[in-house]
Amino acid sequence: MGKIKKTDHFYLIDGSGYIFRAYYALPPLTRKSDGLPVGAVSGFCNMLFKLLEDSKSSENLEKPTHFDFFHLKS
């Protein structure tokens, strides 16, 4: 990774919050083959893809140059 410039923009993503929202806010989703619950993973990925797509929008004047996740431990 190169030097960080003053013009760089960071997106810091709360991974715990995304997982919590994906698990509790979305309807339950299970894999058809064996019934394994996959709703939280699917929701997390969908929210992340939406964030990435929105960040590329022409309306976003400060496009991010870096993304990073953090996870709160209890």
In terms of C-beta density within 10 A (0-12 exposed, 13-18 middle, 19 or more buried), how is residue 22 classed?
Answer: buried
Domain locations along the chain:
12-29+36-57
pTM of structure: 0.73
Residue 14 φ/ψ, nearest 5 degrees: -80, 95
- SS3 at position 72: coil
Closest listed residue to residue 19, CA positions, set 54, 47, 44 = 44
Residue-level pLDDT, tens digit, the chain, 74 residues: 578 888 888 888 898 888 888 889 888 888 889 989 888 888 889 999 998 888 888 887 778 888 888 877 76
pLDDT of residue 74: 62
pLDDT of residue 34: 93
